[in-house]
């Protein structure tokens, strides 16, 4: 890893060693916020930020994200998780308690087009994307110099549909070796198998170069041009076994007109893709996303 970024990581960990995040989803009912607040108060924790949402106050699903400061969190985190189980069971919660100092490790998958990768590297170098880029995996060599120039491990693994199983076995081994928390498909132009997706539920984020659900699948800019669209966009989403139909995290658009050819659409689209993917990754590593069915709640 880049030495200067190692210093940024250590500084971030030191500054946030007592900060935690709690994400909860459960059937809505009275007493949830009170129970969580009392629990945090009992551990001398101070709530810094709290956001909540209910699909329906009567019989709906309740979601909440809390960021808090708790003295001695590094020593108390495991005990707090154990003690929270009683509250979670009472309210039938899906939940996770994450110490902020545990910086997530990301693997970036990329093919020939590097604009999304380069955007993430820039955000990472500037300290605006607080994750550890553990490695980059590609089915082409074009990204090697960019990646290795930043002292990030680069792994070239040729891939096609005929050797997909062997390729994914190598990839899964690397993900385990580097203890990866998040997989980013930064214009990685290969379809993942159900086994690979099942091994990483809600841990794979893709950028699709259209405003979904429009133009699912391949060659969306060419198809958008063929339809004479007046808006083009990009979508970042979690990967499921249904192609380009996983829970949407972020989207954006730009207006175009009849003068735009396919190359113009691609040029405009790449700018949208970069920013949309970067925002989605930031929200994920900041524990701002709760997946519910095939949707996301983004706090």
- Last residue of one domain, picked from the residues 48, 83, 99: 99
Answer whether residue 11 shows pLDDT above 80.
yes
Answer whether residue 282 shows pLDDT above 80.
yes
Domains contained in the chain, number: 2
CATH code for the domain of 208 = 3.40.50.170
Annotated catalytic residues are: 244
68/142 same-domain check: no
Q: Tell me how far apart the alpha carbons of residues 206 and 199 are, in angstroms, rounded to a whole number.
A: 16
- Global pTM? 0.95
* Cα atoms in the 13 Å half-sphere on the side-chain side of 71: 4
Is residue 186 situated within a structural domain?
Answer: yes
Is residue 281 situated within a structural domain?
Answer: yes
152/288 same-domain check: yes
Q: What is the pLDDT of residues 247-279, one digit of tens each?
A: 999 999 999 999 999 999 999 999 999 999 999
- Last residue of one domain, picked from the residues 99, 134, 167: 99
Angle formed at CA 291 by CA 74 and CA 213, multiple of 5 degrees: 145
Answer whether residue 57 shows pLDDT above 80.
no
Distances (CA, A) of 255 to 106, 214, 228, 261: 33, 15, 12, 13
Is residue 269 situated within a structural domain?
Answer: yes
205/272 same-domain check: yes
Q: What is the pLDDT of residues 136-151, one digit of tens each?
A: 999 999 999 999 999 9
Q: Are 18 and 73 in contact (CB under 8 A)?
A: yes
Q: Is 295 helix (H, G, I), strand (E, B) or coil?
A: strand
Phi (first) and psi of residue 63, to 5 degrees: -125, 140
154/56 same-domain check: no
Angle formed at CA 299 by CA 176 and CA 126, multiple of 5 degrees: 60
The fraction of the chain above a pLDDT of 70, given in percent, is 99
Q: Tell me how far apart the alpha carbons of residues 266 and 264 are, in angstroms, rounded to a whole number.
A: 5
Average of per-residue pLDDT across 112-121: 98
Range of the domain at 193: 105-298
Q: Tell me how far apart the alpha carbons of residues 61 and 63 are, in angstroms, rounded to a whole number.
A: 7
Answer whether residue 289 shows pLDDT above 70.
yes
| 137-142 contact pairs (CB < 8 A, 24+) | 137/107, 137/108, 137/109, 137/110, 137/171, 137/174, 138/109, 138/110, 138/111, 138/188, 139/111, 139/167, 139/188, 139/189, 139/190, 140/110, 140/111, 140/112, 142/112, 142/114
- Last residue of one domain, picked from the residues 49, 71, 99: 99
pLDDT in the model for residue 1:
58
pLDDT in the model for residue 3:
58
Q: What is the pLDDT of residues 235-251, one digit of tens each?
A: 999 999 999 999 999 99
Average of per-residue pLDDT across 22-41: 97
């Amino acid at each position: 890893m880049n030495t200067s970024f190692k210093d940024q990581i250590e500084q971030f960990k030191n500054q946030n060693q007592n900060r935690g995040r709690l994400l909860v989803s459960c059937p809505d009912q009275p007493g949830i916020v009170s129970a969580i607040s009392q629990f945090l108060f009992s551990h001398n924790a101070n709530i810094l930020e709290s956001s909540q949402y209910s699909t329906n106050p009567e019989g709906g699903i309740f979601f909440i994200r809390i960021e808090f400061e708790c003295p001695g969190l590094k020593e108390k985190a495991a005990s707090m998780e154990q003690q929270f189980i009683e509250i979670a069971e009472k309210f039938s919660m899906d939940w996770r308690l994450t110490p902020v100092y545990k910086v997530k490790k990301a693997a970036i998958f990329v093919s020939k087009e590097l604009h999304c990768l380069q955007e993430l590297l820039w955000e990472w170098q500037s300290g605006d994307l607080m994750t550890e880029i553990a490695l980059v995996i590609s089915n082409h060599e074009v990204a090697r110099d960019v990646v290795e120039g930043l002292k990030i491990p680069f792994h070239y693994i040729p891939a096609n549909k005929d050797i997909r199983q062997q390729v994914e076995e190598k990839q899964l081994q690397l993900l385990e070796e580097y203890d990866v928390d998040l997989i980013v498909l930064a214009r990685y132009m290969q379809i993942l198998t159900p086994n690979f997706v099942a091994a990483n539920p809600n841990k794979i984020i893709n950028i699709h170069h259209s405003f979904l659900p429009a133009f699912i699948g391949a060659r969306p800019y060419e198809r958008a041009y063929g339809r004479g669209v007046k808006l083009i966009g990009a979508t970042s989403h979690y990967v499921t076994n249904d192609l380009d139909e996983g829970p949407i995290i972020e989207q954006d658009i730009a207006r175009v007109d009849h003068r735009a050819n396919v190359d113009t659409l691609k040029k405009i689209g790449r700018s949208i893709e970069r920013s949309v993917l970067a925002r989605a990754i930031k929200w994920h590593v900041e524990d701002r996303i709760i997946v519910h069915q095939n949707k996301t709640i983004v706090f």
